[in-house]
Amino acid sequence: MTYENLVPVIRKLAIEAGAKIMEIYNSDDFDVKVKSDDSPVTAADEAADALISAGLRAAFPDMMLVTEEQAASHKERGDTFLIVDPLDGTKEFIHRRGDFTVNIALVEKGVPTRGVVYAPARQRMFFTLADGSAVEETGSFDPETIGETRPIRVADSDNSALMVVASKSHRDQATDDYISKYSVKDSKSAGSSLKFCLVATGEADLYPRVGRTMEWDTAAGHAVLAGAGGKVVRFDDHSPLKYGKEGYANPFFIAYAPAVELKEA
């Protein structure tokens, strides 16, 4: 695998999965099931997972693959692997709020280095190029051909007037208590891994997550944010957020533009 052949594959698979998801999203009705961890899953999650997994295994048969919807893949451990959340923001999908994403990332030595985040209902796509820099693509999202892109970069944040983004479905008092430590100009809510991308584009300065997430929820957004000059650190000690942890569960974390003066938890 090289970055040059990885990037077109994950971008194409994200677009194709997004099309599958939107077919179901725009249908009159769809079934919602509950997984063993009480989280919801739909036919869209399962269809997107099947498409992406088949595509990645065909293109990169020697790479370890971890996906949210395949529990057997969670038993493998390593520090270099592909990781997929075929539909991040299932609650947003179910309630037809649009803030859901397709996420595919490469983790190397515990660090997400390349990734794609595609929000089909929002018509926004963010990914890392072969050199690791992050871009947003605009246009028709042809699976075979990368369209017009623009480089994205985190904001040169003003610590007296920060823009904060927080979870739409999981915001709580602990999150608000932490945000209150900053001088905030405004805050917005967003679902799924779009929050990382809003920091990556400079539309927000800070995204604190005081709640449960899994590595497949964050890896692609983390890669995009890193490619735009941003950082993701643990909430407790501000050390870099690492991947390949046992069970693939994340601690609380903070994603931010480096100009932000981080406050203690």
pLDDT in tens, 72-112: 778 888 889 999 999 998 778 778 888 899 999 999 999 99
198 and 120 share a domain? Answer: no
112 and 17 share a domain? Answer: yes
Residue 18: inside a domain: yes
247 and 190 share a domain? Answer: yes
Backbone dihedral angles phi then psi of residue 223, each to the nearest 5 degrees: -60, -45
- Mean pLDDT over each residue of the chain, to the nearest integer: 92
- List, for residues 178-214, the tens digit of each pLDDT value: 999 999 999 988 888 999 999 999 999 999 999 889 9
Residue 80: inside a domain: yes
88 and 182 share a domain? Answer: no
Give the CATH number, domain containing residue 30: 3.30.540.10
Residue 191: inside a domain: yes
* Residue 235 belongs to domain spanning: 162-256
- Is there a contact between 82 and 65 (Cβ–Cβ < 8 Å)? yes
Q: What pTM did the predictor assign?
A: 0.94
* pLDDT interval class at 14 (50, 70, 90): very high
Give the CATH number, domain containing residue 176: 3.40.190.80
Cα–Cα distance, 187 to 143 (Å, whole number): 34
Consecutive H or E run containing 162: strand 162-167
Residue 157: inside a domain: no
| Final residue in a domain of this structure, among 151, 180, 214 | 151
Check pLDDT > 70 for residue 223: yes
121 and 95 share a domain? Answer: yes
DSSP state of 242: -
Cα–Cα distance, 145 to 130 (Å, whole number): 15
198 and 128 share a domain? Answer: no
pLDDT of 83: 97
